[in-house]
Structure 1
Amino acid sequence: MSGLTIGRLRYLFEAVRLGGIRAAADFLNVAPSAVSRQLVLLEKAARTPLLETNRRGAKPTEAGLLLIDYYREHVSREEALVSRLDGIHGLEYGNIALGAVQGFTDDLMRHALCEFNARHPNVTITLKLGGVNDILNWLEDDEVHLGLTYGPGLDLHAARLKEIVSVVQPVCAIVPRNHPLTRLEAVHVDDLFAYPFALARPGYGTRKIVEQIEASEERQFNVVLETDHLIGLTSFVRAGMGVTLLPAFAVHDDVERGALEALSIKHDLMQKVQAQLVSRRGRELPVGAVKLQRLLIANMLAFKA
């Protein structure tokens, strides 16, 4: 088994991650023949095929998946070791990768990253924004250390992922001041269908909830704008064009200034949504990520009931 080297395992990992030998070769800046040769030696050492190729690219066999998992764990442990050694002399350098739904951005910057940066100015933060499924996939592939998700909760990925903290943060109707909905004693879903909406595109947590409500009510929201940018949703409302759906923490500053209002909606699906901080189960996080994790939980509005 001496042929199962970390260097060769990286070739396998990149071939699967990027979907083929040529793409892996371009990424690793080597010839495709070099990747193929290393994979042949790896299969010889493992005594079994590791890749299945088809029109969609390279797919790992069961043995290939085992070796890829081993490689990921090795990289994770190596990262944790380096982080611990750095931590002996204080957290001075390093990189922490976060994946987040856009609704967390302002809360994250103002209440967590600002303080973290002041304490650890030489630690770089990589922030990747996307939908819930993007973030869960990034976590599984170890592309990010921590994920900030918003939605009904973890489902298909639950076996490989771990909730660090989860707090109920209802979906609210976000409206400008003096909007007709603000004059109601209570806002119900039936009240929403009369107004134009800006909504996140399919794949985002709030949009999934809307789709479930539309199916149960057998009615469609009047969606006039779809976007994957938070600023597009809030600008739509500020311009008086209609309503959007977001958690209150996503528009906290606008509400504090009196520019927008966040109205509670009397519906179970709207009330039971969760803001979650997630990591990959079994991954040992580096020192910096652990410190940031504590700061996120302590300071962010999203994680306050």
Structure 2
Amino acid sequence: MDRNLQFLAPLNGINEKRLRYFYTVMMFGSMRKAADILNIEQSAMSRQIQLFESELKINLFKRKGRHIIPTEAAYLVLEYFKENKNRENELFDSLFQLQSSQLGKVNIVSSESYMQHMIYDVLRHVHYKYPNLEIQLELMSAQHVVRHIVDSLAHIGLAYNPPFHTDISTIAHKTEPFILAVPAGHPLAKLKHRICLPEISDYKFALMPVGHGFRQLLDSEMVRLQVNLNIGLTTNSIYALKNYVVAGHGISAMRYADIADAVKEGQAVALTIDSELCNTAQTQLMVRKNTHLSESKHLLIERIRSSFDLLF
């Protein structure tokens, strides 16, 4: 061993609790936000990070006024956390297979749009095959679905128009055009051509917050066409978007599947948007690249693919 090396690993290894605190700070870019998420005092969070830096004998953040900037060392520690989390998941998957007891846990992250099929079809088949399998299902934006998969916080992700990431493998997909939903009898429903975004600028519009696949499509097209929407409602709920239209408050945009029942009942009309980007938008089923998939995960993936008519 080189006696000139000054950096020594902590005798007791890395403190897992402080590593978790550090990861939360990195994800939210703020001591205050991280403290709020973990329900602790900001001073306690700051103290834990200082102890973690002392433990590692290196600075992880530079302080500039009220802001913090991660150092190069911080990104090395973050990569360690991600790799460690991924190896932990692989270990549990391997133990699950070894035990052959059909016990385990699978974490799925998804956009709200897919809940009905997920609950009524996918889970029914999976619980029949693996009655003791625990499934954790979390709803979130497309952006957060990708982040959870990349950070190995979830095994399987399902989202509409998710952002590209080099660590993500899309294992199945389906083209689902992004359509305009308007109340029955709306002036736009009388037009005989595809709807251009400039034509909708006078009508109250309901849309999702930044980070959702729906919003990313709209923002891209608004920038391209230099159009502003007359926003009447911003919500992270598909149910709210649909009912905003059905109630006659205004118009919105979504997958046809999200408004199909209201269209069939004559409460709404689905219109094609004059946009190649909107008409080629996809639902994507994702996992992290080079990740181990257990038998139960393979079954879940196949059931999701079949239920949503996704293509490999």
* Distance 1:192-1:74 versus aligned 2 partners, 3 A rule: same
Give 2:231's aligned amino acid.
V
In the alignment, is the contact (CA less than 8 A) between 2:146 and 2:157 conserved in 1? yes
In the aligned structure 2, how far is the partner of 1:26 from the partner of 1:120?
38
The CA deviation at 1:263 is 2.5
Give 2:214's aligned amino acid.
T
Query: Is residue 2:223 matched to residue 1:215?
Result: yes
Give 2:296's aligned amino acid.
G
In the alignment, is the contact (CA less than 8 A) between 1:50 and 1:62 conserved in 2? no
Which residue, out of 99, 102, 106, partners 1:96? 106
1:15 is matched with which residue?
Answer: 21
Query: Is residue 2:135 matched to residue 1:121?
Result: no
Q: Which moved more, 1:126-135 or 1:2-11?
A: 2-11
The CA deviation at 1:172 is 0.6
The CA deviation at 1:239 is 1.0
Instruction: Work out which structure has the larger RCO, using CA pairs closer than 8 Å and 6 or more positions apart in sequence.
Output: 1
* Distance 1:220-1:75 versus aligned 2 partners, 3 A rule: closer
In the aligned structure 1, how far is the partner of 2:86 from the partner of 2:76?
15
In the aligned structure 1, how far is the partner of 2:246 from the partner of 2:214?
19
Query: Is residue 2:155 matched to residue 1:145?
Result: yes
The CA deviation at 1:102 is 2.0
Please give the TM-score of this superposition, normalised by the length of structure 2.
0.76
Q: Secondary structure at the match of 1:162?
A: strand
Give 2:270's aligned amino acid.
A
In the aligned structure 1, how far is the partner of 2:195 from the partner of 2:175?
19
In the alignment, is the contact (CA less than 8 A) between 2:85 and 2:152 conserved in 1? no
Q: Secondary structure at the match of 1:8?
A: coil
In the aligned structure 1, how far is the partner of 2:76 from the partner of 2:287?
20
Give the length in aligned residue pairs: 294
* Distance 1:69-1:258 versus aligned 2 partners, 3 A rule: same
CA deviation map 1:236-291 (0-9, x unaligned) = 11112222100112334444555444322222222121211222223334443332
* Distance 1:169-1:4 versus aligned 2 partners, 3 A rule: farther
Aligned-CA RMSD value: 3.6
Gap runs ≥5 in structure 2: 1-6, 26-30
1:278 is matched with which residue?
Answer: 286
2:60 is matched with which residue?
Answer: 51
In the aligned structure 2, how far is the partner of 1:160 from the partner of 1:71?
15
Please give the TM-score of this superposition, normalised by the length of structure 1.
0.78
The CA deviation at 1:297 is 1.4
1:196 is matched with which residue?
Answer: 204
Identity in percent: 22
* Distance 1:238-1:25 versus aligned 2 partners, 3 A rule: closer
The CA deviation at 1:150 is 1.7
Give 1:239's aligned amino acid.
A
In the aligned structure 2, how far is the partner of 1:164 from the partner of 1:40?
43
The CA deviation at 1:234 is 0.8
